[in-house]
Amino acid sequence: MLLALLVSGVVVALVVIGLFVFGLRRRLIQRSGGTFDCSVRWGVSDAPDVSGKGWVYGVARYGGDRIEWFRVFSYSPRPRRILERSAIEVLSRRAPEGEEELALLSDAIVLGARHREDRLELAMSEDALTGFLAWLEAAPPGQRVNVA
């Protein structure tokens, strides 16, 4: 009986510590400012896929001429992906359709883009989208920027 209580106490403590670390990591990412919630789907085809599969929820952070994207459910302090402003090309914008509405946040807009040769989709709120497109358009003179 004592062993069962000890084991369950350790399990509860580990869960609480894990949740605390998730929260602490997010606060550290947001500390420098310029962050927004952003789901990403990499390697999409030209035809829109509305199945809702492949979306990964994350937090994006502006950093000079790049955006660092972090998975929300990860303990890694490093960004999972880095998008460089000069390599991003916006292709389309649409509302979530079908099962995507369940996989994404309620007010999300899906932005089709290309980063170098990789096709991807970003889902973010209307406010975050406005900031993202303004950030793209604010590129230094001489950089090619396409914000369709």
Angle 115-64-112 from CA coordinates, rounded to 5°: 25
Q: Are 83 and 94 in contact (CB under 8 A)?
A: no
Residues 48 and 14 in one domain: no
Residues 27 and 38 in one domain: no
Mean pLDDT of all residues belonging to the chain: 84
Alpha helix (H) ranges present in the chain? 2-30, 100-103, 126-137
Give the structural domain span for 123: 34-147
pLDDT of residue 11: 93
Residue with tokens 């649409």: 94
List the strands of the sheet with 118-125, edge to edge: 39-42, 118-125, 108-115, 88-94, 146-147
Residues 38 and 13 in one domain: no
Tokens of 31: 């500390």
Residues 17 and 90 in one domain: no
Residues 22 and 84 in one domain: no
pLDDT over 80 (residue 59) = yes
pLDDT of residue 2: 84
Nearby residues of 121 by Cβ (< 8 Å), 6 or more positions away: 40, 41, 44, 110, 111, 112, 113
The torsion defined by the Cα of 88, 60, 139 and 65, in degrees rounded to 10, comes to -100
pLDDT over 90 (residue 72) = no
pLDDT of residue 21: 80
Residues 18 and 68 in one domain: no
pLDDT of residue 71: 87
Tell me the C-alpha distance between 13 and 27, whole Å: 21
